[in-house]
Structure 1
């Protein structure tokens, strides 16, 4: 497993940031539904807050990765949170990288079942195999692949949203229905922080080493800004799309495919393919990060193979169940990381400038 090529530019930083996060939960609409849509108007304010958090903490992690020349997330969490709390966060990140990998594999199964009527087992097997093969052969090419997939995904999401809003404008009744549904957190404020937190737990495994490969601090800043804005716009668009079909969306594992289906079967198929590609890039990032953390084990390939097999087994729990229970739990634990980063900005600022 190799790290990304040196000298990555602003666009690749932004695309990799977005691509690491917009896997099965994000692009499928399941995460957005549970963390924002269920709060109605409050969910929009939550999206604004989450976007700001994505920019600030994303930039902080990239900058720390550059200053510390991080090879994994370990150097960063020990610097921001100290050895004891940093070790706890390290365990949380490592466990969640594995859990998120299982969620991506489960998401692939949900996509193949909902789109093609094929048993989810088929999709999970395909995703597990191609993810394993990619990480075994090196991840540098995946950074380039993400650069192409991310713009297509965002363009697809925006198209579906605009089409849905024109053909089926959001009504007060739909917002009221959304408010009556149960979300993943008690209110939109906590939900936004939790959402950003667990996503950053995933992203730090890639953003830390990526910061060490960047061309300049300027590219880190603009990469984080464009990445954060891209994520925010994507979440907002998906949220509006789900609100236009709130009843149907609340009953399926992949709401965005259901919404795309209402436009045309062709759009539905195209979006399903793009979504599957995004799940793949996120799964690769998670497996790479998990494998990198276990680099103290000499037989790296064996570790990656066994990890993939175990993640495949865990994925059989089901996609929506993992998003509903695993993600919020990790998000609360990941808040320790966010507090540590803020502490580093205040009391260790000289080390970052």
Structure 2
């Protein structure tokens, strides 16, 4: 049970970790000063959401997220959210491609070299075999999280930052709702399709609580570090590099490589979701669908990594508030439904 639960925990972490979160840009977009309570609320809602999604998937023995999505939002809205997941995959993959451009800038390379690099490798990947590369996520994500936590704790110690800041003022508590809502849709898409592989409800609790606690701890420490360099963040597309500049070139190189691979595997998963969804209606080779998808995405990367996150992520945070509400209050809605029958 523990082994299986940890496998699902890393699946959740792999789903959530991408250019936005790992770079610090997503956290800074929603949190910042006076956000301790917001992060705590996020952890609570995240655990509830993961538990509800995985439980529904397990009970329905789902192999497709549509069954779970319909149970959450109802038959009338399932088609809207189905298209919304497709749009989410498209726009967040654009963010990942832009994140590759921003990452190579840390090595004084042109932004477009990073964009072209990830696009070419993605195309080659789908001509070859994607499964082996996506399985790397199970190794890369834990390594990235350990490396990230090490850097953040080292920065906290070096700067003598207090881990427990005063909670007398928590004016940004409401940011928890759009931040959690932003991250709900990919969870539905991924966790909604593993119902036949989950064996016990104990696995669900291990994965849900474990991933929520891990995200909460890292988010709190990360946000606490970013507050200290608030004036410098404006100078960096990727806030993490504002922290890494205090350390050796080897550390910068190591974390940049991990970040790029995490960006790449997230982009590959997004492209896979898009082309497999489109292939239901369009009978074209997968590599050609990938090429057409990339051709549509590349012009949008001109806006830059931080600008894309500044507009796209808050928009999804607001649009997904309904599905978050349904997840958090699902036990109440469900019990009411049965009591009325």
TM-score range, shorter chain: 0.7 to 0.9
Task: Confirm or deny that 1:33 pairs with 2:28.
Answer: yes
Task: Confirm or deny that 1:272 pairs with 2:267.
Answer: no
- 2:237 is paired with a residue of what secondary structure? coil
User: Are the equivalent residues in 2 in contact too, given 1:14–1:226 (CA < 8 A)?
Assistant: yes
| Ranges in structure 1 where 5+ consecutive residues have no aligned partner | 1-7, 180-186
CA offsets 1:157-178 (integer angstroms, 9 cap, x no match): 121112212221348xx99xxx
Q: 2:71: which partner in 1?
A: 79
Segment drifting more, 278-287 vs 28-37: 278-287
Segment drifting more, 270-279 vs 301-310: 301-310
Partner Cα distance (2:212, 2:128) in 1:
30
Q: How far did residue 259 of structure 1 move?
A: 0.8
Task: Confirm or deny that 1:299 pairs with 2:284.
Answer: yes
User: Are the equivalent residues in 1 in contact too, given 2:47–2:209 (CA < 8 A)?
Assistant: yes
Question: Residues 58-97 of structure 1: matches in 2 within 5 Å?
Answer: 58-97=50-89
- 2:253 is paired with a residue of what secondary structure? helix
Task: Confirm or deny that 1:11 pairs with 2:35.
Answer: no
Q: How far did residue 204 of structure 1 move?
A: 2.1
Instruction: Give the alignment partner of residue 127 of structure 1, picking from 118, 139, 157.
Output: 118
Question: Residues 67-216 of structure 1: matches in 2 within 5 Å?
Answer: 67-113=59-105, 115-134=106-125, 140-142=131-133, 144-170=135-161, 188-216=172-200
Partner Cα distance (1:136, 1:67) in 2:
36
Q: How far did residue 154 of structure 1 move?
A: 1.4
Alpha-carbon spacing, 1:205–1:262, altered in 2? closer, same or farther (3 Å): same
Partner Cα distance (1:309, 1:281) in 2:
19
Partner Cα distance (1:131, 1:98) in 2:
14
Q: How far did residue 104 of structure 1 move?
A: 0.5
Task: Confirm or deny that 1:348 pairs with 2:299.
Answer: no
User: Are the equivalent residues in 2 in contact too, given 1:89–1:333 (CA < 8 A)?
Assistant: no
| Ranges in structure 2 where 5+ consecutive residues have no aligned partner | none
CA offsets 1:126-148 (integer angstroms, 9 cap, x no match): 22233344456565435531221
Alpha-carbon spacing, 1:136–1:73, altered in 2? closer, same or farther (3 Å): farther
Q: 2:222: which partner in 1?
A: 238
Partner Cα distance (1:225, 1:9) in 2:
14
Q: 1:319: which partner in 2?
A: 305
- 2:183 is paired with a residue of what secondary structure? helix
Q: 1:182: which partner in 2?
A: none
Which aligned runs of 4 or more in structure 1 are off by greater than 6 angstroms? none
Counting matched residue pairs gives: 329
User: Are the equivalent residues in 2 in contact too, given 1:12–1:144 (CA < 8 A)?
Assistant: no
Task: Confirm or deny that 1:334 pairs with 2:284.
Answer: no
- 2:193 is paired with a residue of what secondary structure? helix
CA offsets 1:40-79 (integer angstroms, 9 cap, x no match): 1x21211111122221111221222223333433222222
Q: How far did residue 95 of structure 1 move?
A: 0.7
TM-score, structure 2 length as denominator?
A: 0.87
Q: 1:227: which partner in 2?
A: 211
Alpha-carbon spacing, 1:251–1:286, altered in 2? closer, same or farther (3 Å): same
- 2:74 is paired with a residue of what secondary structure? helix
TM-score, structure 1 length as denominator?
A: 0.85
Instruction: Give the alignment partner of residue 49 of structure 1, picking from 22, 26, 41.
Output: 41
Q: 2:240: which partner in 1?
A: 256
Alpha-carbon spacing, 1:300–1:328, altered in 2? closer, same or farther (3 Å): farther
Partner Cα distance (2:5, 2:126) in 1:
24
